[in-house]
Structure 1
Amino acid sequence: MPTITKLYTMEEASQHNTNEDCWVVIDGKVYDVSSYLDEHPGGDDVLLRATGKDATDEFEDAGHSKTARELMEQFCIGEFLEMPPPIPELEIVSKNQEFKNLPHKILNMSKQYWAVPVAVVGLSVAIGFLYLRKK
């Protein structure tokens, strides 16, 4: 009969972040290392800093031995249930609706950016005046 593995979310694992109750997530598994904090060669603060996040990279960077990897199996209490990222809500706009508001959008833009056409016209008039004056 297959063993049923308990699934934990990161929120659940991150709530266990004290010296008396410490869980870490490594390689998709959740470990209750509360009883190992005092024995950990790197100190308990290393394990406490690993709570509330996936600590796989930190574990791999530390270069743990095969013995350490075997030892950690006795602390495994379940697997990490990775929640999928939320799907953004899409806004559906019909083409008719898009063109319906076009004159209103153009009018608003012309009110907002009136300085650019005025500057172009003013500069053109000034250049034209200087050109005619030289003749």
Structure 2
Amino acid sequence: MPTISKLYTMQEASQHNTKNDCWVVIDGKVYDVSLYLDDHPGGDEVVLVATGKDATDEFEDAGHSKDARELMEKFCIGELDDTSPVSSNSQAAVSSEKFLQLAKQYWTVPVAVLGISLVVGFLYLRKK
């Protein structure tokens, strides 16, 4: 007999975003990974960053193994209700949130380039 899966909205899933109550959405399925955070090989922070949004891209980009994919089925608690409308404001909020996360994550590269440029410029001018 097939199991009836509970449906969750993205808004419901996004409310579970702490270390003690952590849900992620991957490929339209909702996973409660609260008990797995301490065991996650990449650390709990990478999972916590993925809460509150569809984390399919992040999951796929990490290159998870077949074993990891099988293990995560144990944490599946339902499916994402894709019949609920997603407003354009909420899509814009997700996009801007993604941009801010990338900006926070990769701020060191432009700052390092700027710092090196200033030092080189200062040394060049000092020799003249």
Structure 2 length normalisation: TM-score? 0.65
Tell me the CA shift for residue 4 of structure 1.
Answer: 1.1
SS of the equivalent of 2:64 reads: coil
> CA, structure 1 residues 85+35, in 2 after alignment: closer, same or farther (shift >3 Å)?
closer
Q: Is 1:16 aligned to residue 20 of structure 2?
A: no
1:40-51 matches, cutoff 5 A: 40-51=40-51
For 1:44-90, what per-residue CA distance to the aligned partner results, in whole angstroms no more than 9, with x for missing partners?
0111111110000000000000000000000000001122345xxxx
Look at both structures and tell me which one has the larger radius of gyration over its CA atoms: 1
Amino acid at match of 2:56: T
Corresponding position of 2:85: 84
Corresponding residue for residue 55 of structure 1: 55
Q: 1:65-76 alignment to 2 at 5 Å?
A: 65-76=65-76
Q: Secondary structure at the match of 1:37?
A: helix
Residue pairs, 1:95-110, within 5 angstroms: none
User: Aligned partners of 1:75, 1:60: CA distance in 2, in Å?
Assistant: 17
Report the 3-state secondary structure (helix = DSSP H, G, I; strand = E; otherwise coil) of the residue aligned with 1:77. strand
Q: CA RMSD in A?
A: 1.5
Report the count of equivalent residues: 87
Gaps (5+ residues) in structure 1?
87-135
Q: How far apart, in 2, do the equivalents of 1:32 and 1:80 lie?
A: 13
Identity across aligned pairs (percent)?
80
Cα deviation, residue 3, structure 1: 1.6
Amino acid at match of 1:76: C
The alpha carbon displacement at 1:21 in A equals: 0.4
For normalisation by structure 1, the TM-score amounts to: 0.61
Structure 1 runs of 4+ aligned residues shifted over 4 Å read none
CA distance in 1: counterparts of 2:74 and 2:36, whole angstroms: 11
Opposite residue 45 of structure 1, the aligned amino acid is E
Residue in 1 that maps onto 2:7? 7
